[in-house]
Structure 1
């Protein structure tokens, strides 16, 4: 199972790289159709229902819902976390094989992973399926088959920063008639982010950081135009891999030469992940090794663009500047 997860991780890295080179069609943000009553108009009027509602998804497809969905399928862990946080546990009838949070997700019907089971999804007869832009390129035919069966499929944007994550939560809340719950989630996240950044205001010396998303011999790391880069910028840390774009392999010798103050390990499918970094030949000259600053951080809370992302920012900040959070 650990090997399977590693393959999944690397496949997602590949998908993100492809997405970064994609066309403008995937860059359009979800919007309310101007022919329908907008979200703001509904709030101002105090309306209990926002339906019928028409929205355009991340790949330019338009869907219309006549009422709040009573049966929902989620095809991505981040979508699932948002839906559960919106108090839609009873409405969720299917989730992907990789959904592991919250614990209740394990009780839902599994519809597959990267190669999802179209027949199983159709058999669940959902009112809406929430897909994801990061996987769309590899699964477009399957998405079309679901749509052809008369089931609305909404492809959620692959959020690149906190603002787009907030927009995603807002949009899913709008489609599911959970606007107030979405606003509360976003408000809580923003409060946590502000709390973390306030604590970091007095940091005087910027630390250099290397983020490792897969182990040797192919040590992947995120560079520019990644969510991790944004997080490091937010907490005031220097990414030693910011001279390249997206995810790429850094050779061990190069890592040694760049000599980070902190090494963050972002995977847990190897029980000895941190110990293995300390044990690598030639790494004993790296400051992070000498100062015992190799820290493991839960990848799920830093890569899933959902309600726990603010916790992920805090975890990154604590890993880099532990002294600030021990005061």
Structure 2
């Protein structure tokens, strides 16, 4: 039996390197930031993380030597794109968890699992429940809209890459319908490449949302694509940007600020429809 004055037992890893933003944001939200010893250079949430933690990776590359100097007992990454980084760290004896969640439910489950790993299971469950309630509230508000717009979400422009599953799901929660649901189900970006931009023209989205990872969305460049002047979204000036840190990582940001940004675009589009219908 442990004595009353015994030191508390630490649960889970104490020196964690986060190769992407979502574990960093989650651990900070759970009050477990002290466990993090290294983060991705692309991390922007929370802002204080960039000031407090050394940046040791990009997305497809990492400073292996610097990571090893941090003596991590756990490294967290995401997807097959970081498989080579994971393999090299494993060869150095580091324990690595590569998550591969691609949906809203998968993201909520990821938060619960990460919390459990660090002994914060109850806090993680409460946090995931809070995020779910927020999504439900947005969906309830969206259900009151008179029309649902067709939405084309563009993750990259050269080549054209459509949105991944969690993005399509958040568009639906926000009150829109993704025009490429069959591609959203594809986990790999190469399976979501559009060989022919005319397919967007044929599907006639009411709204175009661009989130070009690492560079600014250019509505003028999109509008100038051959034949795209026939798209309702281009004709009506419904070309919008959602910053990639808010939506392209399957973590808390996407389930809060990301979906809120999409919902605002959809609401504003919906509010403009009566006036547009009278003009036509």
Give the TM-score category using the shorter length.
0.7 to 0.9
Q: Residue 132 and residue 236 in structure 1: after superposition, are their counterparts in 2 closer, same or farther (change >3 A)?
A: same
Residues 97-133 of structure 1: CA distance to partner in whole angstroms, max 9, x if unpaired? 2222211222311222222222222211123222334
Q: Counterpart in 2 of 1:4?
A: none
Equivalent position SS for 1:308? helix
Q: Counterpart in 2 of 1:22?
A: none
Q: Residue 87 and residue 154 in structure 1: after superposition, are their counterparts in 2 closer, same or farther (change >3 A)?
A: same
Unaligned stretches of 5+ residues in structure 1? 1-48, 52-65
Q: Residue 93 and residue 325 in structure 1: after superposition, are their counterparts in 2 closer, same or farther (change >3 A)?
A: farther
Q: Which one of the candidate residues 117, 127, 141 is aligned to 1:199? A: 141
CA distance in 2, matches of 1:243, 1:118: 37
Q: Which one of the candidate residues 11, 14, 18 is aligned to 1:74? A: 18
Q: Counterpart in 2 of 1:20?
A: none
Q: Counterpart in 1 of 2:90?
A: 144
Q: Does 1:298 align with 2:243?
A: yes
Tell me, yes or no, if the aligned pair for 2:24 and 2:33 is still in contact at 8 Å. no
Q: Does 1:127 align with 2:73?
A: yes
Q: Which one of the candidate residues 50, 62, 66 is aligned to 1:116? A: 62
Q: Counterpart in 2 of 1:153?
A: 96
Q: Residue 305 and residue 272 in structure 1: after superposition, are their counterparts in 2 closer, same or farther (change >3 A)?
A: closer
Q: Counterpart in 2 of 1:185?
A: 127
Tell me, yes or no, if the aligned pair for 2:166 and 2:250 is still in contact at 8 Å. no
Equivalent position SS for 1:264? strand
Q: Which one of the candidate residues 113, 136, 149 is aligned to 1:171? A: 113
Where do residues 13-24 of structure 1 align in structure 2 (5 Å cutoff)? none
Q: Residue 78 and residue 206 in structure 1: after superposition, are their counterparts in 2 closer, same or farther (change >3 A)?
A: same
Matched residue count: 257
Q: CA offset at residue 296 of structure 1?
A: 0.7
Tell me, yes or no, if the aligned pair for 1:85 and 1:307 is still in contact at 8 Å. no
Equivalent position SS for 1:111? strand
Q: Residue 173 and residue 269 in structure 1: after superposition, are their counterparts in 2 closer, same or farther (change >3 A)?
A: closer
Equivalent position SS for 2:125? helix
Point out the more displaced range, 174-183 or 268-277.
268-277
The TM-score normalised by the length of structure 2 is 0.80
Unaligned stretches of 5+ residues in structure 2? 1-7, 187-191, 273-280
Q: Counterpart in 1 of 2:163?
A: 222
CA RMSD of aligned residues (A): 2.7
Q: Does 1:284 align with 2:225?
A: no
Residues 159-181 of structure 1: CA distance to partner in whole angstroms, max 9, x if unpaired? 12222211111111111122233
Q: Counterpart in 2 of 1:41?
A: none
CA distance in 2, matches of 1:277, 1:136: 31
Q: Which one of the candidate residues 202, 206, 209 is aligned to 1:264? A: 209
Tell me, yes or no, if the aligned pair for 1:212 and 1:220 is still in contact at 8 Å. yes
Equivalent position SS for 1:251? coil
The TM-score normalised by the length of structure 1 is 0.70
CA distance in 2, matches of 1:294, 1:237: 14
